[in-house]
């Protein structure tokens, strides 16, 4: 597995990251088979994927407990990234708590659940302006000095916020949604991260399933995607028509649309890590294979034009 450095002179991590979120119930849905989830994490580690992404609010701590079980006895094999700050109740997001006193409380619970002494990358899940950024980043910086955290990360923020955070304490990684269907960060945020020497951890590579080639219109009435206009009515119909080109290219190259979607993100830079959510071992080989896919200049141009900004209709949570 190829490795990349998170930030200037930062830690070396696998170029492909494992997102553990879907192994737990986030929005009140069913929890995946725990034994299979643990086996998936361990197989990922065996395959050279050492970047494990979790959050203290994923399944109300269940996800951290799961990761803790999976890495027991092999802590040095894993680089653990933890998000904090979101408050859930009854499967619903109530808001954020980014107060320094709350962060100091969150970190202790995370360390216990994970069964570790130090979290490798610690980051607020996003910012809402409720707490001065100096206080928030300063608190994580204090945790780094105490030895409870190794590196500072940030997630889902603006270019200006990234500059401000990095001026307070060096940011090693920016976690942000990025895909062929969601390219709005290319105009400002991505160039800023590259300028500052900050690694990019890119999630939602398939745009919440839109780019998998498996989605059909209309969606079932209870599908959570229907909260977002991208997946509603004629928007979804037209968006799936756009995805047909990706399906065709994937077929011609001998891969799946999902693999091409991951490969495209991977090809956007040596400082960009595709973060892929998996909860089954059977998905690992195909996602690892996606990291080996290359595109001709003509294919890259075709994808860039076909999926230019605005080509996919409707909004999603990435356009808050």
How many CA atoms lie less than 13 Å away from 113 in the CB half-sphere? 22
Please report where in the chains the tokens 């960060």 appear, as a residue.
185
58 is catalytic: yes
Q: Specify whether the CB–CB gap between 274 and 205 falls below 8 A.
A: yes
Q: What does the block give as tokens for 147?
A: 């030895």
Q: What does the block give as tokens for 70?
A: 């999976």
Rounded-to-integer distance, Cα 136 and Cα 284, Å:
36
Of 58, 122, 178, 255, catalytic = 58
The residues with which 89 forms a beta bridge, in sequence order, are 92
CA dihedral 251, 257, 262, 264 (to 10 degrees): 60
Please report where in the chains the tokens 């690694």 appear, as a residue.
199
Rounded-to-integer distance, Cα 60 and Cα 115, Å:
16
The answer for residues whose C-beta is within 8 angstroms of residue 308's C-beta and 6 or more apart is 183
Please report where in the chains the tokens 């409707």 appear, as a residue.
314
DSSP 125: S
Rounded-to-integer distance, Cα 189 and Cα 159, Å:
5
Q: Specify whether the CB–CB gap between 49 and 72 falls below 8 A.
A: no
3-class DSSP state of 243? helix
Give the Å distances, CA to CA, from 101 to 58, 83, 162, 228: 21, 16, 23, 34
3-class DSSP state of 307? coil
Write out the catalytic residue numbers: 58
């Amino acid at each position: 597995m190829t490795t990349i450095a998170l930030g200037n002179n930062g830690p070396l991590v696998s170029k492909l990251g494992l997102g553990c979120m879907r192994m737990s119930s986030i929005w009140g849905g069913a929890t995946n088979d725990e034994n299979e989830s643990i086996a998936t994490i361990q197989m990922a580690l065996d395959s050279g994927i050492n970047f494990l992404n979790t959050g203290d609010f994923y399944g109300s701590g269940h996800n951290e407990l799961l990761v803790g079980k999976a890495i027991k006895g092999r802590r040095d094999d894993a680089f653990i990234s933890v998000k904090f700050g979101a408050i859930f109740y009854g499967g619903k997001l109530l808001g954020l708590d980014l107060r320094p006193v709350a962060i100091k409380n969150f970190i202790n619970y995370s360390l216990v659940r994970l069964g570790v002494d130090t979290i490798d990358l610690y980051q607020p899940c996003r910012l809402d302006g409720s707490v001065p950024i100096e206080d928030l980043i300063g608190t994580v910086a204090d945790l780094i000095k105490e030895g409870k955290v190794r590196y500072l990360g940030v997630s889902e923020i603006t270019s200006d916020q990234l500059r401000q955070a990095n001026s307070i304490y060096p940011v090693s990684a920016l976690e942000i949604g990025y895909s062929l269907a969601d390219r709005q960060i290319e105009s400002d945020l991505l160039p800023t991260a590259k300028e500052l020497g900050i690694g990019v951890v890119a999630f939602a590579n398939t745009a919440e399933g839109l780019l998998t080639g498996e989605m059909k219109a209309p969606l079932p009435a209870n599908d959570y995607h229907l909260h977002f206009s991208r997946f509603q009515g004629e928007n979804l119909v037209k968006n799936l028509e756009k995805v047909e080109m990706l399906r065709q290219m994937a077929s011609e190259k001998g891969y799946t649309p999902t693999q091409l979607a991951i490969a495209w993100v991977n090809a956007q830079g040596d400082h960009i890590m595709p973060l892929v959510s998996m909860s089954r071992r059977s998905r690992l080989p195909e996602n690892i294979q996606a990291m080996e896919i290359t595109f001709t200049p003509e294919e890259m141009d075709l994808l860039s034009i076909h999926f230019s900004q605005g080509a996919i209709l409707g909004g999603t949570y990435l356009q808050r």
